[in-house]
Amino acid sequence: MSYTGRFRVWRGDTDGGALQDFEVEVNEGEVVLDVLHRLQATQTPDLAVRWNCKAGKCGSCSAEIDGRPRLLCMTRMSVFGTDDVVTVTPMRTFPVIRDLVTDVSYNYAKAREVPSFTPPADLAPGEYRMQQIDVERSQEFRKCIECFLCQDTCHVVRDHEENKEAFAGPRFLMRVAELEMHPLDVADRVPAAQEEHGLGRCNITKCCTEVCPEGIKITDNALIPMKERVADRKYDPLVWLGRTISRRR
């Protein structure tokens, strides 16, 4: 049940590169990452690709397959025909380091710009009480494996390098929402979402949601509710004031 698969893999570095064609054995049940590993072991020992868990848990192996942002370890070969040419390229939004490996430091920089969890000052460790139903929304966002595929996809940065400065991207706007919806977080995060993290630039196309391998409803559950909170504040300063006071207890 094995066959010779046809692959086209981008190879190169900061100075440029090109797609290269390969013919390589493919076996039943394999994923694209298995085939790339076989290429390393038999034809291109220095082919650069990131991976760790091989089970969709660590978010290391992000790349684009036939132009679509995907995890290499969760893309099964059975979704392609045996005659298809499978094209594998690095994530387009981030600078290439080598072959399929890109420089994702933008994401780590953005992570630092989101103020951390802020619990009530007088709440001792061990005294945290939260209902399951109240933690579920933030838990959904905490499923994020930081594959950065949503960041890769979002046209706000994909097509406009210059927006990177002012736009945190779906992953980190969702982080703001996660903290905003954390039952015990006392910081006010709504104005910064709009003014510092660039929520206003998102025009809810949902492309990020479509590529998320964790199936997180980034747009519907994080971005739109945050936009609503921003809008509420704008039109009703009293609501804003009242909310701030009640949140601070």
Partner 1 sequence: MTETERHDYDVLVIGAGGAGLRAAIEARERGLRTAIVCKSLFGKAHTVMAEGGCAAAMGNVNSNDSWQVHFRDTMRGGKFLNSWRMAELHAKEAPDRVWELETYGALFDRTDDGRIHQRNFGGHTYPRLAHVGDRTGLELIRSLQQRIVALQQEDHAAGGDYEARLRVFAECTVTEILKDDDGAIAGAFGYWRESGRFVVFSAPAVILATGGIGKSFQVTSNSWEYTGDGHALALRAGANLVDMEFVQFHPTGMVWPPSVKGILVTEGVRGDGGVLKNSNGDRFMFGYVPDVFKGQYAQSEDEADRWYDDQENNRRTPDLLPRDEVARAINTEVKEGRGSPHGGVYLDIASRMPSEEIQRRLPSMYHQFKELADVDITAEPMEVGPTCHYVMGGIEVDPDSGRSSVPGLYAAGECASGMHGSNRLGGNSLSDLLVFGRRAGLGAAGHVESLERRPAVRDRDIAAAAATALAPFDTPSDPADAENPYTLHSELQKAMNDLVGIIRTEAEMSEALDRLGKLRERLRDVVVEGHRQYNPGWHLALDLRNMLMVGEAVATSALLRTESRGGHTRDDYPTLDPAWRRRVLVTHVTEDTDSPADDTVAPRVDVEPAERTPMREDLLALFDLEELEKYYTGGELAAHPQGGRSAP
Query: Which does residue 29 touch among ligand SF4, ligand FES, partner 1, none (CB within 5 to 8 A, set by kind)?
Result: partner 1
Q: Could you give the CA distance from residue 115 to residue 176 in angstroms, rounded to a whole number?
A: 8
Q: Which of positions 43-102 make contact with ligand FES (CB under 6 A)? A: 51-54, 56-61, 71, 73
Which residues, in sequence order, are bridge partners of residue 98?
13, 101
Which residues, in sequence order, are CB contacts of 126 under 8 Å at separation 6+? none
Binds ligand SF4 by CB under 6 A, chosen from 55, 79, 204, 239: 204
Tell me how far apart the terminal alpha carbons of the chain are, to the nearest angstrom.
65
Query: Which does residue 97 touch among ligand SF4, ligand FES, partner 1, none (CB within 5 to 8 A, set by kind)?
Result: partner 1
Q: What is the amino acid identity at position 139?
A: Q
CB 101 to ligand FES: min, Å: 13
Handedness of CA 120, 125, 127, 130 (dihedral sign): positive
Query: Which does residue 99 touch among ligand FES, partner 1, ligand SF4, none (CB within 5 to 8 A, set by kind)?
Result: partner 1
CB 6 to ligand FES: min, Å: 23
Number of residues assigned to the chain: 249
Q: Which of positions 131-170 make contact with partner 1 (CB under 8 A)? A: 131-132, 135, 138-139, 142-143, 145-146
Q: What is the amino acid identity at position 194?
A: Q
Of 54 and 155, nearer to ligand FES (C-beta) is 54
Q: Could you please report the per-residue DSSP string of 80-92?
A: S-TTPEEEEE--S
Of 81 and 125, nearer to partner 1 (C-beta) is 125
Of 198 and 213, nearer to partner 1 (C-beta) is 213
Binds ligand SF4 by CB under 6 A, chosen from 131, 132, 203, 246: 203
Instruction: Annotate 110-139 with b (16+ C-beta within 10 A) or e (fewer).
Output: beeebeeeeeeeeeeeeeeeeeeeeeebbe
Query: Which does residue 61 touch among partner 1, ligand SF4, ligand FES, none (CB within 5 to 8 A, set by kind)?
Result: ligand FES
Of 40 and 205, nearer to ligand FES (C-beta) is 40
Contact yes or no for 91/148 (Cβ under 8 A)? yes
Q: What angle do CA 41, 27, 213 make, to 5 degrees?
A: 85
Q: Could you give the CA distance from residue 206 to residue 223 in angstroms, rounded to a whole number?
A: 10
Count CB atoms within 10 A of the CB of residue 191.
Answer: 12
Using the rule CB under 8 A, is 182 a contact of partner 1?
Answer: yes
Where does this chain bind ligand SF4 (CB under 6 A)?
59, 144-150, 153-154, 156, 170-171, 174, 202-208, 211-214, 216, 218-219, 223
- Positions touching partner 1 (CB under 8 A) are 13, 27-31, 34, 40-41, 45-60, 74, 76, 97-99, 101, 104, 108, 111-112, 115-117, 119, 125-126, 128-132, 135, 138-139, 142-143, 145-146, 179, 182, 185
